[in-house]
Amino acid sequence: MSTATKRMNKSDLKLIAVLERTGGFASAQELHQILRREGDGIGLTTVYRALQSLVDDKIVDLLRREDGEAIYRLCGDNHHHHLVCKSCGDTVEIEGGAIEKWAKTMAEEFGFREVGHTAEIFGICSKC
Amino acid sequence: MSTATKRMNKSDLKLIAVLERTGGFASAQELHQILRREGDGIGLTTVYRALQSLVDDKIVDLLRREDGEAIYRLCGDNHHHHLVCKSCGDTVEIEGGAIEKWAKTMAEEFGFREVGHTAEIFGICSKC
DNA sequence: CACAAAAATGGAAATGATTATCATTTTCAT
DNA sequence: ATGAAAATGATAATCATTTCCATTTTTGTG
Ligand SMILES: [Zn+2]
Ligand SMILES: [Zn+2]
Ligand SMILES: [Zn+2]
Ligand SMILES: [Zn+2]
């Protein structure tokens, strides 16, 4: 059996730990700030490098915020979607069962692989 | 009959024309270069402004390249979603029947009104 | 342990897209 | 014509991400 040697340096592990702890998505800048706040003097460059390497190894997912900023999350995290109020900003986390199925079906139909998706709902909440 | 007042200035029309002519997606920088090459001295600022306005008016779609750069494309009037190849950028317009239902259901369940949604699927296409 | 080679690190500068400013020009209604 | 409002575009400012490069840490070997 060939061993898929994972080289995982200290920084990689740190980033994984933070991502586990925070859950969900975070940008490189945010992750860097969190680590700094916790007393870790890790450099921004290293954060970017570690994230890049984790993405290459398919350990974290890379998506984009609406403004184009890269955001990362641990692969395999059960993700959820959001229902956001355009007026007060209140947000509800919702399951996306139907979406997951839809994305998968569509991707298959058109022969896409390594598929991901984004989906958000926005409107005016009952309080507004 | 209510008048759907569309204010459409010269620059907006230029951008629409270029997008029609080129078809597919293009970034602001690319669109600017194309116009320049054709002898139009339009400024980059104006290109960004026009595109932003067209996006607001739902006349063009805004997506993201893999590197986060914004790309624009004329959008058909009927609401649809996209299946985008992360590698070559090829895009398939798809119907979102399941999504529409999901968004509506979720919104109702949580008492939201004036609801909209976004949903995109991305992956690697069969050619890549 | 000693020591050199390789890997990792991080500060500073460079890059590149997008946005903010602001003075000037064009459009428009009276 | 004429003043107000909208549009324009050059320039500077932002801000995330990359590059560079010098320094530090880790690792393998005798
Ligand atoms: Zn609300
Ligand atoms: Zn989902
Ligand atoms: Zn492709
Ligand atoms: Zn839809």
Give the 3-state DSSP-derived string for A51-103, with helices as H, strands as E and coil as C.
Answer: HHHHHHCCCEEEEECCCCCEEEEECCCCCCEEEEECCCCCEEEECCHHHHHHH
Q: CB closer than 7 A to strand D: which residues?
A: A 10, 27-29, 44-45, 48, 52, 69-70; B 7, 9-11, 41-46, 49-50, 67-68
Which residue in the block uniquely carries the two structure tokens 């706040």?
A37
Question: In this model, does residue B2 exceed pLDDT 50?
Answer: no
Instruction: Please give, rounded to a whole number of angstroms, the shortest distance from the CA of A85 to a CA of chain B.
Output: 8
Asked whether the beta carbons of A44 and A32 are under 8 A apart, the reply is yes
Structure confidence at residue A77 (pLDDT): 65
Average pLDDT of chain B? 88
Best A91, A108, A110, A127 residue to mutate vs chain B (most B CBs within 10 Å): A110
Question: In this model, does residue B87 exceed pLDDT 80?
Answer: no
Q: How many CB atoms within 10 Å of residue A39?
A: 6
pLDDT class of A6 with cuts at 50, 70, 90: low
Burial string for B39-75 (b: 16+ CB within 10 Å, else e) reads eeebeeebbebbbebbeeeebbbbbbeeeeebbbbbb
CA-based nearest residue to A32, from A18, A20, A52, A53: A18
Query: Mean pLDDT, to the nearest integer, of B80-99?
Result: 82
The larger pLDDT score, comparing residue B94 to residue B35, is at B35
pLDDT class of A17 with cuts at 50, 70, 90: very high
Question: In this model, does residue A66 exceed pLDDT 90?
Answer: no
Collect residues with CB below 5 Å from ion ligand 3: B 85, 87-88, 90, 125, 128
Query: Mean pLDDT, to the nearest integer, of A71-99?
Result: 79
**Ligand 4 midpoint to CA A11 (Å):** 40
**Ligand 2 midpoint to CA B88 (Å):** 23
CA-based nearest residue to B61, from B16, B116, B4: B16
C-alpha A1/C-alpha A98 separation (Å) is 39
Question: In this model, does residue A119 exceed pLDDT 90?
Answer: no
Structure confidence at residue B84 (pLDDT): 83
**By the CB < 8 Å criterion, does B120 face chain A?**
yes
pTM of the model: 0.77
Structure confidence at residue A33 (pLDDT): 97
Query: Mean pLDDT, to the nearest integer, of A79-106?
Result: 82
pLDDT class of A1 with cuts at 50, 70, 90: very low
